[in-house]
Chain A
């Protein structure tokens, strides 16, 4: 675990295909692109969600894939300030999407407002219950 302050002040950098914080903490990798995009395609084709809460922007692969499925509502939570800026820049090219800069733990939401929660964070600050592996998704309503 690292502190919230360390996390917020860390430098995000894509180096040799790995998105790292302070050259140490692994957030996501370019090599995951094919696999994770396929996962999103499979979820969207099967469950046809229209309102999606996405946790963790990373390299934007999942967000870009979700946008191919004409969502009515697409909320992305991203805690890291530099990655949030990248996500904001990305979001200008798409519709019905909002990016929020906060930790999931600080985000108040009603599950009734979403059909799907896709959680793809690399949790470095808050403890995670044993056995919970990311990415994972939860179908609602």
Chain B
């Protein structure tokens, strides 16, 4: 068992160091000693916590320059939780690996990759959103695959709200017919349809658009 060394910046006031003799029986509590830098196990031994450790201030783990860092939970799950921002910072590659399971990134807002993404495996886009009947400028934020309304009165779409540069959207029509309006027609905005002609799509037909430089360009259509 490692020993606690409190040989730096000792505070003037007395303070209590929780004995670690109870490890395995009670939680080990390391109080916040203002101005005290404490090092656990500066010797060669491991520092083991067999039950629970509570730290009221920050915890910093420095690994030797010749050793890889390693935090492990044996035979159970591990949760790292914060109520504010969390940063995992690597000056080299950062690997998140699951050898036998799924890696899930969950966010109530957006998961953003600021640089290139390369996938050695397949990509499956599962979020299919149904457009609102009558909405001439539907919201297409955060998705790529859409279906038209299953019911309602036929209507026109003149543009799409909240696009991202380079976004490609796929739309499959259901029961409600939708006319996509080319930018050249009177009510047109920024959609470039094939042949510069408005087109009404009906059930089971599909159309694909690319958003680039402020405009939507039809990539393909399938009149199924």
Residues of A with C-beta under 8 A to B136: 18, 20, 24-26
Q: How big is chain A's contact interface, by range?
A: 20 to 34
Contact indicator A16/B151 (Cβ below 8 Å)? no
Nearest CB in chain A: distance from B202 CB, A: 10
B152 part of interface (Cβ distance < 8 Å)? yes
Whether the Cβ atoms of B137 and A24 lie closer than 8 Å is yes
B-side interface residues, number (CB < 8 Å): 20
In chain A, residues 14-53, which have Cβ atoms closer than 8 Å to a Cβ of chain B? 15-18, 20, 24-29
Contact check, B134 vs A133: say whether CB atoms are below 8 A apart: no
Please report which residues of chain A, range 116-132, place their CB below 8 angstroms from some CB of chain B when the two chains form the complex: 120-124, 128-132
Work out how many contacts link A and B, with CB atoms closer than 8 A: 64
Q: Provide the bound-state CA to CA distance between A129 and B175, in Å.
A: 11
B156 and A29 within 8 A (CB)? yes
**A1 CA to B177 CA in the complex, in Å?**
17
Q: Does A134 contact B (CB under 8 A)?
A: yes
Q: In terms of DSSP, what is the predominant structure of the interface of chain A? A: loop
Partner of A26, one of B150, B156, B174, B186: B156
Instruction: Tell me whether B4 is interfacial, beta carbon within 8 Å.
Output: no
Contact of A122 with B155 at beta-carbon distance under 8 Å, contacts A25-B134, A25-B136, A26-B134 already known: yes
Tell me the nearest residue of chain A to B136, going by C-beta.
Answer: A26
A128's partner among B133, B186, B187 (CB-CB below 8 A) is: B133
- Chain A interfacial positions (CB closer than 8 Å to B): 1, 15-18, 20, 24-29, 120-124, 128-135
Instruction: Mark B residues whose CB is within 8 Å of A.
Output: 132-137, 150-156, 158, 174-177, 186-187
Query: 28 A–B contact pairs at CB < 8 A?
Result: A1-B132, A16-B186, A18-B136, A18-B156, A18-B187, A24-B135, A24-B137, A25-B136, A26-B135, A26-B155, A27-B134, A28-B153, A29-B156, A122-B152, A122-B155, A123-B134, A123-B153, A124-B133, A124-B134, A128-B133, A128-B151, A129-B151, A130-B175, A133-B151, A133-B152, A133-B153, A133-B176, A133-B177
